[in-house]
């Protein structure tokens, strides 16, 4: 079988607005799509009930259905890409390989190795910007340097965007040039979960695939006006819930920009402006990881590598399980464990609590999120954790420490979110639910919840820990000086 061109899809699981696929199909040569399950990534997933595997397989299954309608089919392989690709191009006598760029350290190394191997076999390798709107060299300061503070980066990003007439390209592929094959070697007849050694998670709240992504994007149009306010209120679930779809490429970054831009081009809208800022934050963190790959393992600000974290393992276990005695923290962590989801406000609250109240290394929390988040993205996860821990690029100052009680009262004033996930607290009223340990025994009996028995006492005292955190950070900064 001869397939002149192959497109390697990875975190771009869609057929629409796909830069590499369009470039390949525009040549007029017959083209097929390849997806490789990489053991180097799969082996990092110790939980064989990982929700992301189901999400990816669902996305691939939807792609396969569309391709089958065009008499085409995905090529699925399991193995080291550096070993798989030479075999693929030999098997199909392929002369050109296309893919969209990935900016993570492992991905860059992998793609460089594959490109070198294929070049030695006289196979042309072409890659394209698709995962971000602007790459590192496209948004620079007047002195042609990388921005390390978000606001000036955002301003320059918007200035660049406007200078280009706010044009958002749409890479529509010509599916007529898809390689056709009969009989179809369809993955729809296979049990990929079984082959990979994972279990299908039928209870995912978000289903993989572009059709579901586009429906959710369409529904978000009704909520984007209030996005700037509603995104912080976990009980109403009015965030976009699109992050998992952009993470796996069911939507393109351009899809994410068209919605706010269509609104902002007509009139001012705070919700759309904040949404657009979030997309720009995404570009910013991708750029930081691309330029400074050391942040994957180390603090962006080197002086904080000397912070003497306490790293109490029992406290970390309580944080992971949602048993700290701080209701807003516990409800957020229990939600994460059960669904793989957590909104950004809660991510900041639990991260600040881990680092600045429990005094535990941000890398412990980052790793736990990497294991649990359905929308896990290295750049965004790393950037968010380092921001909260005050160790990262443009991070909050170390003396800004989120008070879990005031955060709870402000963003879950009725205690609705807490009652959903900390069911044992559901009979406390809205005044006492944020700090139930302050109630007396009569109130606890009335609420049918004895603190220390049915729900834990706070594992640490917030005010005491706050002072310890300030001392811990000051010592690190002083050591650097």
Which residues are known catalytic residues? 278, 281, 309, 344, 362, 385
With H, G, I as helix, E, B as strand and everything else as coil, classify residue 166: coil
Find residue 34's DSSP bridge partners.
8, 75
Q: Which residues contact 219 (CB under 8 A, 6 or more apart)?
A: none
Q: Which residues contact 287 (CB under 8 A, 6 or more apart)?
A: 103, 132, 134, 135, 136, 139, 146
Q: Which two tokens stand for residue 319?
A: 């944080």
Rounded CA-CA distance 46/288 in Å is 28
Query: What burial class does residue 337 get, using C-beta atoms within 10 Å of its C-beta: 0-12 exposed, 13-18 middle, 19+ buried?
Result: middle
Alpha helices in 50-172 (DSSP H): 51-69, 81-92, 105-120, 150-163
45 neighbors 86 (Cβ within 8 angstroms): no
132 neighbors 287 (Cβ within 8 angstroms): yes
Going from the C-alpha of 421 to that of each of 19, 167, 348, 415, 427, the distances in angstroms are: 42, 44, 18, 10, 13
Q: Which two tokens stand for residue 69?
A: 């309608």
Q: Which residues contact 104 (CB under 8 A, 6 or more apart)?
A: 289, 296, 378, 379
Give the rounded distance of the alpha carbon of 20 from its chain centre. Answer: 22
Going from the C-alpha of 258 to that of each of 63, 159, 198, 274, the distances in angstroms are: 23, 17, 36, 14
Q: What is the DSSP string of 176-224?
A: GGB---SS---GGGS-HHHHHT----TT-SS--SHHHHHHHHHHHTTTG
| Residue (of 213, 196, 248, 226) closest to 56 by Cα position | 248
Alpha helices in 292-436 (DSSP H): 313-321, 327-339, 344-352, 362-372, 378-389, 404-411, 416-421
Rounded CA-CA distance 113/124 in Å is 14
Rounded CA-CA distance 330/457 in Å is 12
> Residue 290: which H helix or E strand, with range?
helix 270-291
């Amino acid at each position: 079988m001869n397939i002149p061109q192959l497109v390697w899809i990875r975190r771009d699981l869609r057929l629409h607005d796909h830069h590499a696929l369009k470039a390949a199909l525009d040549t007029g040569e017959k083209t097929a799509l390849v997806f490789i399950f990489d053991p180097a990534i799969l082996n990092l997933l110790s939980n064989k009930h990982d929700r992301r595997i189901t999400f990816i397989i669902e996305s691939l299954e939807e792609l396969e259905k569309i391709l089958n309608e065009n008499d085409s089919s995905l090529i699925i392989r399991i193995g080291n890409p550096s070993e798989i690709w030479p075999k693929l191009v030999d098997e199909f006598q392929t002369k050109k390989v296309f893919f969209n760029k990935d900016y993570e350290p492992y991905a860059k190394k992998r793609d460089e190795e594959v490109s070198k191997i294929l070049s030695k076999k006289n196979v042309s390798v072409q890659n394209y910007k698709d995962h971000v709107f602007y790459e590192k060299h496209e948004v620079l300061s007047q002195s042609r340097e990388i921005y390390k503070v978000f606001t000036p980066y955002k301003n320059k990003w918007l200035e660049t965007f406007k200078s280009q007439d706010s044009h958002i390209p749409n890479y529509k592929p010509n599916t007529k040039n898809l390689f056709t094959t009969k009989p179809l070697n369809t993955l729809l007849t296979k049990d990929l979960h079984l082959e990979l050694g994972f279990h299908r998670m039928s209870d995912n709240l978000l289903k993989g695939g572009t059709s579901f992504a586009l429906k959710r994007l369409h529904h978000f149009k009704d909520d984007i006006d209030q996005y700037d306010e509603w995104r912080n209120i976990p009980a109403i679930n009015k965030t976009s819930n699109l992050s998992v779809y952009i993470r796996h490429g069911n939507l393109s970054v351009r899809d994410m920009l068209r919605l706010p831009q269509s609104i902002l081009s007509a009139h001012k809208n705070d919700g759309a402006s904040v949404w657009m800022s979030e997309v720009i934050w995404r570009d910013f963190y991708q750029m930081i990881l691309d330029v400074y790959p050391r942040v994957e393992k180390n603090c962006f600000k080197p002086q904080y590598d000397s912070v003497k974290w306490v790293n109490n393992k029992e406290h970390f276990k309580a944080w992971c399980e949602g048993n700290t005695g701080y209701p807003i923290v516990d409800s957020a962590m229990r939600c994460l464990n059960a669904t793989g989801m957590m909104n950004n406000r809660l991510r900041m609250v639990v991260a600040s609590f881990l680092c600045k109240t429990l005094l535990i290394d941000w890398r412990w929390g980052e790793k736990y999120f990497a294991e649990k988040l359905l929308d896990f993205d290295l750049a965004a996860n790393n950037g968010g954790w380092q921001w909260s821990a005050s160790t990262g690029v443009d991070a909050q100052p170390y003396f800004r420490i989120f008070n879990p009680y005031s955060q709870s009262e402000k963003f879950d004033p009725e205690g609705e979110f807490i009652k959903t996930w900390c069911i044992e607290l559901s009979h406390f009223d809205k005044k006492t639910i944020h700090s139930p340990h302050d109630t007396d025994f009569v109130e606890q009996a009335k609420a049918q919840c004895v603190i220390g028995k049915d729900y834990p006492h706070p594992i640490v005292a917030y005010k005491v820990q706050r002072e310890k955190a300030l001392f811990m950070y000051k010592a690190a900064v002083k050591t650097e000086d």
